[in-house]
Structure 1
Amino acid sequence: MSNTINQMIAGELNVRNEQVTAAVTLLDDGNTVPFIARYRKEVTGGLDDTQLRTLESRLGYLRELDDRRQVIIKSITEQSKMTPELQADIASADSKTRLEDLYLPYKPKRRTKGQIAIEAGLEPLADTLWQDPSQTPEVLASDFVAADKGIADTKAALDGARAILMERFAEDATLLDKIRRHLQNNAELTSRVVEGKEQEGAKFKDYFEYSEALKNVPSHRALALFRGRNEGVLQLTLNADPQQEEGVRGSYCEVMIADHYAVNLGTQPADTWRKQVISWAWRIKILMHLETELMSALREKAEDGAMQVFADNLKDLLMAAPAGPRVTLALDPGLRTGCKVAVVDQTGKLLDTATIYPHTARARVAEAEAAVLALITKHDVNLIAIGNGTASRETDAFVAQLLKDNNLKIQSVMVSEAGASVYSASELAANEFPNLDVSLRGAVSIGRRLQDPLAELVKIDPKSIGVGQYQHDVSQSMLAKRLDAVVEDCVNAVGVDVNTASPALLTRVAGLNTTIAQNIVNYRDDNGRFENRTTLKKVARLGPKAFEQCAGFLRIMNGKNPLDSSAVHPESYAVVKNIAAANDKAMDAIIGNSDFLRGLKAADYTDEKFGVPTVTDIISELDKPGRDPRPEFKTATFAEGVNEVKDLIPGMVLEGVITNVTNFGAFVDVGVHQDGLVHISALSDKFVSDPREVVKAGDVVKVKVMEVDLQRKRIGMSMRLNDEPGQEKPARKPQGQRPDTRPQNTRQHGNKQRNEQPAGGAMGGAFAAAFANAKQKK
């Protein structure tokens, strides 16, 4: 079966079977995805980390499917009901849904009405009436009346026969598959408000009378609907016949059932009864079963979409440009309790702390200025980080004035403090700063995350960083697994300085765990800095396998071997030596020598172990050893005098930072303590199917303010700077796509259409609903 699984995955990834087989073998041998993607390209044929993550996930699913397959085969075989045809169907089932459909007739369950009827001897009655419509139901049923078997009269006999057929139809895997596919393509999801819940559930008012094709419901809308149902505000149903006129009782799915069994319903004596059997089987058995299943499938798909949005945003945030090793003064703004100040050196080591009160009495402002100036002078500060929470703009203005008055050329940057309070109160922070006040720990975190977002954010539970979409409505275990994979990939893509990294950062390195990471730090504390990668083998519990996995991702800056600061793995140092020897050069002379390295041909230095892909990577790494894949550091400049939502005026063009990207648009921080929304329709003059095609978290962008709702603190924005407030300008459709003459983002509501306008039009519909689920700043 393993070969079949590998072939299936190869087809889905559009790669060769040998590549999948090799990757599966490596994963089963305990190798990590980052290690395989980076250092086993010859073996896997160059599968990248994204392909490997998909492969790993799919492998787990298909193996679970195969395990379930074996359980089902054993169960049916023990019942002596296995046939060659059923065995073949079970063997070819490619999804858990199909497998469970096949198992349904044989699955042990409580005695049903159909089973009781069979035990009472009514199956011949059911079969005869179904196959021979010329029989009169009441006449034929009279022969099956038996009080001792619980069949008191002809009605009881016909009810039992109907129950037998209804259950038979509902357990027909082929029929279920036909109807399921029909519903997936044609059914509509319908939502209605629960009577009396209009006021209580006002935030769901867009869904009080709502319908949309099931196949078109996006993840964020699906999760909003399910949340409304969970809160008792909405009723969700599946409309199997959305095109059908009101008053028509029959469903097309009933026609499908009749066609499936080649039944022609006419005017023969048993036809009325047979039609009733089909109708009841559809409405009572099949519809209820498939509605539950398709709703669950929609939720699963929506959760997966939401988790992917979170994962993409998290990756962008973790891979944001670092300010670099600069002495940083960080302020965690506050009003009544004051601003907490922390100074960290180039490596993030805490140097000094203070608490200032620049937003109270004038005398205290002068005192605050003196305190900050003293810290800047004492520690030679050249970067200032300001948390973007309460009083952030007031603190920013205070710092700007101080720098101006003292003619100081120090860059001041607003930093997201999402999750900083979570870190401050964590066990990790307590171990790192046992004698430091919780509030001051937050300031340290703000400063460090400006220096190196990745190194600091790994200390915080990814779910607390706040870049998700309906993150509390999805499986928390699945979300944690997905986000952990993102963190692992980002950390290993950048690499980690083993002599400065925290245990939290080291834990995310391929091959390491919490215990080994702490042991590395303990060894460093006891023996001083690591001078070469080989010394890592002396760390307790860091065995050969762990060393193989982690060594290439751990950097030793200014060590004894210059290759230790690069992504070249120790196992391939010999390749570098061969390159140097073959060209009669010292190893130091070829590292960073672009002219020389670009003239090399990788094929000239391959051997049985290291092929062209690995040698190509080595040459590229030697050209720019330890290159950081993250972008260049740059920041947004917030407009002076624009500190609160009330300061915004439609038509303003402002600079801001993308804080979150969802399926329906992007949220932008322009410095007013409340993110504005650029709806997907206002991201570009061109058609946009995915907001991430245009922006990602951390991007610095220019936006125009289109609408301001002071009461609800909602801000509508556009990145199409030619848009004018109050005017709607539809985004261009992609070439070759037939124009849609309906208003943009129109949804069907019964016989009415309601236009949900993008930024620039009335503030309602999906645009307003998006705000209802946006996380407000502290």
Structure 2
Amino acid sequence: MKTISQRIAEELSVPEHKVQAAILLLNEGATVPFIARYRKEVTGGLDDIQLRTLEERLHYLRELDERREVILNNIRTQEKLTPELEASINDAETKTRLEDLYLPYKPKRNSKAKLAKEAGLEPLALALLEDHTLVPEEAAASYINADKEIDTSEKALEGARHILIEKFAEQATLLEDLRAYLFANAKLTSKVIEGKEEKGAKFADYFDSQESLKTIPSHRALALFRGRKIKILRLSLVVEEDDYFKQKIAAYFNIENQDWLLETVDLAWRFKIRTHLEAQLLTQIREKSEAEAIKVFGSNLHDLLLTAPAGQRATIGLDPGLRTGVKVAVVDKTGKLVDTATIFPNPPKKQWQQSIDTLVELARKHQVELISIGNGTGSRETDKLVTELLKAHADLGLYKLVISEAGASVYSASKLASNEFPDVDVSLRGAISIARRLQDPLAELVKIEPKSIGVGQYQHDVNKTQLARALEAVVEDCVNAVGVDLNTASASLLGRVSGLNAGLARNI
């Protein structure tokens, strides 16, 4: 059995000692950017891309090995672990293969097959499978046992059939072949659940749709799974060559012309194996789509964090609102808060001109150069207000920009914001964030949990742990690619620098 470091070394095509050195550093808490920059001599020059891949594979393979150990211990406890089975389990390179091998030994509830075995019908089932010359009704006669509620040959055969169906459905190699063929040839279909047409109107494109399982784009797959999750859509796999699977199962057990066994194969496929494989493949597609979506979210976040900064210019931040007013915050060129206000240009107060006058007064007082407008509710009205201000007061030399305010409200109510602005009302903190993220997007956005920044359409549908881990890695890479200004950087930003921890960042 190969070690984790051997497997990763083969996948990355690098010497194993480099992988071992990198794993040791990761175990000690070192970040990928830190290792890539400051420990090149230890890892033999592994770059950040190789290290990110190594980190991801290390996490997966450790989970795989933990599950492998649990499975081996469970089978060992049952006293059914043979050298051959142990070797197969140790050689399993995916979680799917591991679970396939474990199926026959997985503790089961009181299934019909389990009850049939307890009634002593397993020898009958195995005999019928091995000797095709047996007449099922005649072979079953000797297994009639009134004490076990097996009072007819038909009941004995029914129990034997349940045992064989379970056996057919627990062959790892067979399942692997059937799964691969089903994945390559099946179509993913969706149907609207009766009576949900009106409630699920936004899923209308998927009320009766069909697409190749193998090639469906991740965004459409995630839309289908969202529809299923909220009970609007029913998903299933459709495959035309249904007989192929039955023939494959029959051939695996050398069944040719024995009608009773062929009927058992048919039932095993339709009611056991197909259901099992369909559930597995749908899970596989969902996980694959989530992984692709997370990559897109990471790319979007990367672009957002590395948006060109406006630089050190005094800025007014406007957090738009209608009834509750537009929150105003003025920060100087270093990002320090110097003034706040609330204006009410919209109904019900309609203080349009008074709002413009307030902004002009703040701009003159603090020598403001930029106006940053959040793109939330009331953004158009606020943009119109500022446009009118710029025309009427061209002498101020102001420039405006509408920016994403995603995550500003999350930051406003955070402990970090409370510590940074203890005496500022929570409703005004969002305007401060909006002003600062125009000056330096990276420095401000690192204060917000990455998943709250709004970097993808289905980010709330994907695995939260994997998303958080991926987005944190993007933030880490961006900060260390750009660097920070030590004179103005917050503790949040400094804490992302390679080699600095949160405590040291706060002290600086």
Structure 2 CA distance, aligned partners of 1:359 and 1:71?
Answer: 63
Task: Determine if the alignment matches structure 1 residue 295 to structure 2 residue 282.
Answer: yes
Structure having the larger proportion of residues in helix? 2
Aligned length: 507
Are the structure 2 counterparts of residues 31 and 141 from structure 1 closer, same or farther at C-alpha, using a change threshold of 3 Å? Answer: same
Q: What SS does the corresponding residue of 2:142 show, helix, strand or coil?
A: helix
1:503-541 deviation line (CA, Å, top 9, x unaligned): 3223333454544433x15xxxxxxxxxxxxxxxxxxxx
Contact 1:310–1:468 under 8 Å retained in 2 = yes
Residue matched to 1:253? 245
Contact 1:449–1:457 under 8 Å retained in 2 = yes
Q: What SS does the corresponding residue of 2:101 show, helix, strand or coil?
A: helix
Are the structure 2 counterparts of residues 397 and 236 from structure 1 closer, same or farther at C-alpha, using a change threshold of 3 Å? Answer: closer
Q: What SS does the corresponding residue of 2:333 show, helix, strand or coil?
A: coil
Task: Determine if the alignment matches structure 1 residue 482 to structure 2 residue 459.
Answer: no
Q: What displacement does 1:376 show?
A: 2.3
Task: Determine if the alignment matches structure 1 residue 158 to structure 2 residue 163.
Answer: no
- CA RMSD of the aligned region, Å? 2.3
Letter in 2 for 1:112: S
Structure 2 CA distance, aligned partners of 1:153 and 1:393?
Answer: 79
Q: TM-score scaled by structure 2?
A: 0.93
Q: What displacement does 1:15 show?
A: 3.6
Task: Determine if the alignment matches structure 1 residue 509 to structure 2 residue 497.
Answer: yes
Structure 1 CA distance, aligned partners of 2:145 and 2:379?
Answer: 84
Letter in 2 for 1:325: Q
Residue matched to 1:5? 4
Q: What displacement does 1:56 show?
A: 1.0
Q: What displacement does 1:359 show?
A: 5.0
After superposition, where does 1:492-507 map in structure 2 within 5 Å?
Answer: 492-507=480-495
After superposition, where does 1:94-173 map in structure 2 within 5 Å?
Answer: 94-173=93-172
Q: What displacement does 1:365 show?
A: 4.2
Q: What displacement does 1:68 show?
A: 2.1
Q: What displacement does 1:495 show?
A: 1.9
Structure 1 CA distance, aligned partners of 2:420 and 2:279?
Answer: 49
Structure 1 CA distance, aligned partners of 2:121 and 2:330?
Answer: 85
Structure 2 CA distance, aligned partners of 1:169 and 1:289?
Answer: 12
After superposition, where does 1:62-461 map in structure 2 within 5 Å?
Answer: 62-239=61-238, 241-242=239-240, 244=241, 251-265=243-257, 271-358=258-345, 364-406=351-393, 407-461=395-449
Contact 2:314–2:332 under 8 Å retained in 1 = yes
Q: TM-score scaled by structure 1?
A: 0.62
Instruction: Give ranges in structure 2 of 5+ residues lacking alignment.
Output: none
Letter in 1 for 2:273: I
Structure 1 CA distance, aligned partners of 2:140 and 2:224?
Answer: 47
Instruction: Give ranges in structure 1 of 5+ residues lacking alignment.
Output: 245-249, 266-270, 522-778
Structure 2 CA distance, aligned partners of 1:370 and 1:120?
Answer: 90
Q: What displacement does 1:349 show?
A: 0.3
Higher relative contact order (CA 8 A, sep 6+): 2
Contact 2:64–2:95 under 8 Å retained in 1 = yes
Q: What displacement does 1:398 show?
A: 3.5
Letter in 2 for 1:517: A
Structure 1 CA distance, aligned partners of 2:4 and 2:198?
Answer: 52
Contact 2:12–2:50 under 8 Å retained in 1 = yes
More moved, 180-189 vs 383-392: 383-392
Structure 2 CA distance, aligned partners of 1:178 and 1:391?
Answer: 57
Are the structure 2 counterparts of residues 15 and 141 from structure 1 closer, same or farther at C-alpha, using a change threshold of 3 Å? Answer: same
After superposition, where does 1:593-632 map in structure 2 within 5 Å?
Answer: none
Are the structure 2 counterparts of residues 173 and 436 from structure 1 closer, same or farther at C-alpha, using a change threshold of 3 Å? Answer: same
Q: What SS does the corresponding residue of 1:90 show, helix, strand or coil?
A: helix
Contact 1:309–1:469 under 8 Å retained in 2 = no
Q: What SS does the corresponding residue of 2:460 show, helix, strand or coil?
A: helix
Contact 2:89–2:101 under 8 Å retained in 1 = yes
Contact 1:114–1:163 under 8 Å retained in 2 = yes
Q: What SS does the corresponding residue of 1:157 show, helix, strand or coil?
A: helix
1:156-208 deviation line (CA, Å, top 9, x unaligned): 11112112211111111111111111112112212111122222222111111
Are the structure 2 counterparts of residues 196 and 164 from structure 1 closer, same or farther at C-alpha, using a change threshold of 3 Å? Answer: same
Are the structure 2 counterparts of residues 357 and 204 from structure 1 closer, same or farther at C-alpha, using a change threshold of 3 Å? Answer: closer
